[in-house]
């Protein structure tokens, strides 16, 4: 029998400038190490209430139903779909990248009827196409779209899309995984109905939690369901027994206690910086990166008016091998950037400037390393 030589795992310290996760703030890592207490401990429940308020501030909403789902952003997506959608419901799904495609998959698995509005990868959702689909499908009840498409770096006009949806008696399901904390996102002002996000992007937190928020219109739809939610774990009527209420909370699942400490700390950091300051910081670092990339002869693929500052899709020059460049950056510089997805695989690099990673030192380091590798 071979002797076990496995010892404690100690990863190298990387600079994370891919599509996520982003670098985790040191204060967040420290929060993870705090003593674990029970998930029904009164002290923990008090922290949960603070966490909900911090999330409301980040989402710019007063929605009572605002909380983190105990699983990554994909579970936040499923939570929205399995609660808002019943078999036979017609949903207009905007697909301009990989994550719009995942929304479509959720509609199909929930037994809904999907009407697809396609736009090219690397472009924002076209409001005119959405309006045409809404007019052609007056029986649709939901419009689903990605605010910030992580697979391409395209930013869509959530306010306009939501306005169109409501003009045609539709509610919205909105993916804000990469936008929360990085670009303007105003849930109440824009009248977004069911919204989900993630913690590992612009919040500088660890992966594994998915903030969600539902307004009164969304919760009314949930409460009038004729069938049971197809997911027990993601059933809002059960989850809210734990996250809401006075006094005794109903046990639903053992919450990820230390990761919730981490999210609380990450949101405190965001609050201290100021939401608008965070948006501005992401924009400033994007402009610096863009200028440096131009000096290297590299181009961004998304039109400037539709460009997401915290996720930069860079065209790979002719004759340059995608995988070897990324491998050299990782092995020689401990720097991670992302590959393209789908049809853009081998054609694009995705350089993230998210949360704690969005700083001048990282921008300079990335540009310097890219310059050296490309010269070789």
Cβ neighbours around 185 below 10 Å, total: 26
What is the rounded distance in angstroms from the CA atom of residue 342 to the CA atom of residue 46? 44
Same domain, 252 and 345: no
Please report, rounded to a whole number, the percentage of residues in the chain having pLDDT higher than 70: 99
Question: Per-residue pLDDT averaged across 348-368, rounded?
Answer: 98
Q: Which residue has tokens 């949960």?
A: 48
pLDDT over threshold 90, residue 248: no
304's CB contacts (< 8 A; 6+ apart) are none
End-to-end alpha carbon distance in the chain? 46
pLDDT band (50, 70, 90) for residue 244 = confident
Same domain, 259 and 320: no
Which of 32-36, 85-89, 241-245 is predicted with the least confidence, judged by mean pLDDT?
241-245
Averaged pLDDT of the chain:
96
- Residues 265-324: tens digit of each pLDDT: 999 999 999 999 999 999 999 999 999 999 999 999 999 999 999 999 999 999 999 999
Question: Per-residue pLDDT averaged across 341-355, rounded?
Answer: 95
Question: Per-residue pLDDT averaged across 173-184, rounded?
Answer: 98
- Residues 110-125: tens digit of each pLDDT: 999 999 999 999 999 9
Contact 340, 349 (CB under 8 A): yes
Same domain, 242 and 316: no
3-state secondary structure (DSSP) of residue 336: strand
pLDDT of residue 249: 85
Question: Per-residue pLDDT averaged across 160-181, rounded?
Answer: 98
* Total number of domains in the chain: 2
Same domain, 99 and 228: yes
Same domain, 176 and 311: no
Dihedral Cα 119, 123, 128, 129, nearest 10 deg:
10
Which of the listed residues 239, 270, 301 is the one where a domain comes to its end? 270
pLDDT of residue 247: 60
The neighbouring-strand residues paired with 66 are 213
pLDDT of residue 13: 95
Same domain, 165 and 82: yes
Q: Can you give the pTM of this predicted structure?
A: 0.97
287: its two tokens: 């402009």
Contact 122, 301 (CB under 8 A): yes
Same domain, 317 and 329: yes
Residue 147 domain-assigned (yes or no): yes
Same domain, 228 and 365: no
Residue 3 domain-assigned (yes or no): no
- Residues 319-340: tens digit of each pLDDT: 999 999 999 999 999 999 999 9
Q: Give all strands (DSSP E) within 41-89, no chain letters.
A: 65-69
Q: Give all strands (DSSP E) within the chain, no chain letters.
A: 15-16, 65-69, 90-95, 113-118, 142-146, 148-149, 154-155, 171-175, 194-196, 210-214, 311-315, 335-336, 338-339, 348-352
Question: Per-residue pLDDT averaged across 59-76, rounded?
Answer: 97
Same domain, 167 and 315: no
Residue 325 domain-assigned (yes or no): yes
Residue 197 domain-assigned (yes or no): yes
Same domain, 306 and 222: no
* Helix %, strand %, coil % of the chain (to 5): 45, 15, 40
What SS3 string covers 242-294? HHCCCCCCCCCCCCCHHHHHHHHHHHHHHHHHCHHHHHHHHHHHHHHHHHHHH
Which of 2-6, 277-281, 347-351 is predicted with the least confidence, judged by mean pLDDT?
2-6
Q: Which residue has tokens 């965070």?
A: 278
3-state secondary structure (DSSP) of residue 121: coil
pLDDT band (50, 70, 90) for residue 246 = low
Residue 73 domain-assigned (yes or no): yes
Cβ neighbours around 335 below 10 Å, total: 23
Q: What is the CATH number of the domain that holds 333?
A: 3.90.1150.10
Q: How far is CA 261 from CA 115, 235, 258, in A?
A: 40, 24, 5
Cβ neighbours around 73 below 10 Å, total: 28
Q: How far is CA 221 from CA 96, 225, 229, 280, in A?
A: 27, 7, 12, 36
pLDDT band (50, 70, 90) for residue 3 = confident
Residue 2 domain-assigned (yes or no): no
């Amino acid at each position: 029998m071979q002797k076990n030589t496995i010892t404690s795992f100690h990863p190298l310290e990387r600079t994370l400038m891919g599509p996520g996760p982003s670098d985790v703030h040191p204060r967040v890592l420290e929060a993870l190490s705090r003593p674990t207490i029970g998930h029904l401990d009164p002290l923990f429940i008090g922290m949960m209430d603070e966490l909900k308020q911090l999330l409301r501030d980040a989402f710019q909403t007063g929605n009572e139903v605002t909380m983190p789902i105990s699983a990554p952003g994909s579970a936040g997506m499923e939570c929205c779909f399995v609660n808002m959608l019943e078999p036979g419901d017609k949903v207009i799904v905007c697909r301009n990248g990989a994550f719009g495609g995942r929304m479509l998959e959720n509609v199909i698995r929930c037994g809904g009827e999907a009407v697809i509005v396609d736009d090219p990868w690397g472009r924002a959702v076209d409001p005119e196409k959405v309006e045409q689909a809404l007019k052609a499908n007056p029986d649709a009840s939901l419009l689903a779209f990605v605010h910030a498409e992580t697979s391409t770096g395209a930013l869509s006009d959530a306010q306009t899309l939501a306005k169109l949806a409501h003009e045609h008696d539709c509610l919205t399901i909105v993916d804000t995984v990469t936008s929360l904390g990085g670009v303007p996102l105003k849930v109440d002002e824009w009248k977004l109905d069911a919204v989900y996000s993630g913690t590992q992007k612009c919040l500088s937190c660890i992966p594994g939690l998915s903030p969600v928020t539902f307004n009164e219109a969304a919760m009314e739809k949930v409460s009038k369901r004729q069938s049971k939610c197809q997911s027990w774990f993601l059933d809002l009527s059960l989850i809210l027994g734990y996250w809401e209420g006075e006094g005794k909370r109903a046990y639903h699942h053992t919450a990820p206690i230390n990761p919730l400490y981490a999210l609380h700390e990450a949101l405190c950091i965001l609050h201290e910086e100021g939401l608008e300051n965070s948006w501005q910081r992401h924009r400033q670092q994007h402009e610096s990166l863009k200028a440096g990339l131009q000096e290297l002869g590299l181009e961004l693929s998304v039109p400037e008016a539709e460009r997401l500052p915290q996720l930069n899709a860079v065209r790979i020059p002719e004759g340059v091998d995608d995988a070897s460049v990324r491998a050299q950056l990782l092995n020689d510089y401990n720097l991670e950037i992302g590959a393209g997805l789908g049809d853009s695989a081998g054609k694009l690099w995705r350089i993230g400037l998210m949360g704690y990673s969005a700083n001048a030192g990282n921008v300079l380091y990335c540009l310097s390393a890219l310059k050296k590798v490309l010269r070789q």
